[in-house]
Amino acid sequence: MPLYEYRCEQCSKQFEATQSVHARAEDTECPFCHAQQATRILSSFASKIAGDHKPGFAEIKAKAMNNERMERFAKLPPLNAKRNVPPPNTSSDSSPVTGTGSSSGS
Ligand SMILES: [Zn+2]
């Protein structure tokens, strides 16, 4: 179950509550004053990180290197290209037999 952050409108305190996604903010009771006037704080933690995040130089360079690598990979021939090459002929039938001996006769 997701963890939600709430702020109580009654006592203006913040608290966390693990609820189902179908739970409504108006049904959430404040643990401090037990008022049902809580408003859900939508992931202020995550949005703060995403908002301040800027890609650094290293990150840009890494991305460029990755693109270069992908380009190089695309230029490679497909793996099944080797299957079109016929196997070398190793049959011994076609090779002529040499060296039958020198015939010496009188
Ligand atoms: Zn409260």
How far is CA 71 from each of CA 75, 76, 77, rounded to the nearest angstrom?
Answer: 7, 9, 12
50 Cα to the center of ligand 1, angstroms:
29
pLDDT at 84 over 80: no
Instruction: Write the pLDDT tens digit of every residue in 28-78.
Output: 999 999 999 999 987 645 444 445 556 677 777 778 878 888 787 777 776
17 Cα to the center of ligand 1, angstroms:
13
DSSP assigned state of 31? T
